[in-house]
Amino acid sequence: MEEAILEAIRLAVTKIPDDVVKSLQEAYKRENTPTAKFNLENILKAIEIGEKERIPVCQDTGTVTFFVEAGVRNPYLGMIKELINSALEKATREIPLRPNTINVLTNKNLGNLPIVHWELVNGDRIRIAILPKGGGSENCSALAMLTPAEGFEGVKRLVIEKVKECGGKPCPPIILGIGIGGSSDLALKLAKKALLRPLGERHKDGRIARFEEELLEEVNSLGIGPMGMGGKTTALDVKVEVVPRHPASFPVGVVFQCWAHRKAFLEISGSGEVRIWQ
């Protein structure tokens, strides 16, 4: 099982998922300046090399983040935390990953420590989503506690302002995750989790789906383009998730993801069978 988690980490960092590749290929066709083409061509080449040679596409193999949906009746539940730690340690040596965890006080490099989000669910299935999150895009994250009066218009203003401010820093074309409602911490967590949805897929609530489309169009009209050097494609997609809010609050979390949108999923059934996919 440790081996399976390691393989899922390897898949995430070496192979950019098909939905992302397809979207980048479309962007390449759409762009018509030499600079935008230069960047997208490099991106597509880097993806090919990563997959063929099984090496990390981006040297920033990120803060390796795990979202665990833990079925309470799964007999392996008690081992999962240790397995994630040891698999990540092994992955750092074997793939290899960049040691990306730094002690805040001493600046000493600690290797790679995971960030794990737990959610207990009924049943005997454990599902783990792996999201290696690069620093450049993560640094653009934002939280705003809007007033209910500002509402969705306020969300739009905030997102556009943040995308403009960040320009080329988060490695565009980006994917935006937006969480609305809950509380300060939940809004950001929702935003990050929203990134796990497949590109091109719209929210099942038509009102949110339309909001996603509007945001995507506005972001792409900014002209920031691939790597912030101008172009039509600033974002590949925008994902919005909502949960109920407090009467006085309208929390909004915004999380940026770079084009190298690395993700992998792993499922452990009650009988210990493992399935890995992207």
Partner 1 sequence: MAVRLTTPLSEKEILKLRAGEIVYLSGVIYTARDLAHMKIIKEGAPFDPRGAVIYHSGPVVRKKENFEIVSAGPTTSARMNKYLDKILDMGVKGIIGKGGMQPESFRKYRAVYFAFTGGAGSLAAKSIRRVVEVYWLEELGIPEAVWVLDVKDFPLIVGIDAFGNSLYSNHR
Residues of this chain, 169-188, that bind partner 1 according to CB under 8 A = 169, 171
- 235 near partner 1, judged by CB under 8 A: no
Angle, CA 229 vertex, CA 100 and CA 53 arms, to 5°: 45
Residues of this chain, 73-112, that bind partner 1 according to CB under 8 A = 96-100, 102, 107-109
- 34 near partner 1, judged by CB under 8 A: yes
Q: How far is the CB of 75 from partner 1 (least distance, A)?
A: 36
- The β-bridge partners of 237 are 175
Among 35, 85, 86, 249, the residue binding partner 1 under the rule CB under 8 A is 35
Only one residue has tokens 């997609």, namely: 237
Q: What are the CA-CA distances from residue 81 to residues 56, 185, 238 (Å)?
A: 24, 22, 31
Among 84, 155, 208, 224, the residue binding partner 1 under the rule CB under 8 A is 224
- 268 near partner 1, judged by CB under 8 A: no
Kindly indicate which of the ranges 50-58, 150-158, 178-186, 248-256 contains the residues binding partner 1, using the contact rule CB under 8 A.
50-58
Q: How far is the CB of 190 from partner 1 (least distance, A)?
A: 25
Binding characters for partner 1, 131-170, by CB under 8 A (x = yes):
---xxx--x------------------------x--xxx-
Kindly indicate which of the ranges 39-47, 72-80, 190-198, 240-248 contains the residues binding partner 1, using the contact rule CB under 8 A.
39-47
Q: How far is the CB of 15 from partner 1 (least distance, A)?
A: 11
Which residue, 130, 277, 244, is CA-closest to 193? 130
Kindly indicate which of the ranges 122-130, 142-150, 184-192, 228-236 contains the residues binding partner 1, using the contact rule CB under 8 A.
228-236
Among 116, 228, 249, 278, the residue binding partner 1 under the rule CB under 8 A is 228
Which residue, 262, 193, 226, is CA-closest to 16? 262
How many other CB atoms are found less than 10 A from the CB of residue 76?
17
The answer to whether residues 179 and 186 touch, using CB atoms and an 8 Å cutoff, is: yes
- As given in the structure block, the two tokens for residue 116 are 């794990």
Q: How far is the CB of 11 from partner 1 (least distance, A)?
A: 15
Of 30 and 73, nearer to partner 1 (C-beta) is 30
Give the dihedral sign, CA 118/122/128/131: negative
Among 230, 267, 269, 278, the residue binding partner 1 under the rule CB under 8 A is 230
Q: What is the DSSP string of 199-247?
A: TTPPPSSHHHHHHHHHHHHHHHTT---GGGSS-S-SEEEEEEEEEEE-T
Q: What are the CA-CA distances from residue 35 to residues 32, 156, 223, 231, 234 (Å)?
A: 9, 29, 13, 8, 14
The answer to whether residues 226 and 31 touch, using CB atoms and an 8 Å cutoff, is: yes
Interacting residue ranges for partner 1, rule: CB under 8 A: 34-35, 38-39, 42-43, 45-46, 49-50, 53, 55-61, 96-100, 102, 107-109, 134-136, 139, 164, 167-169, 171, 222-230, 258-260
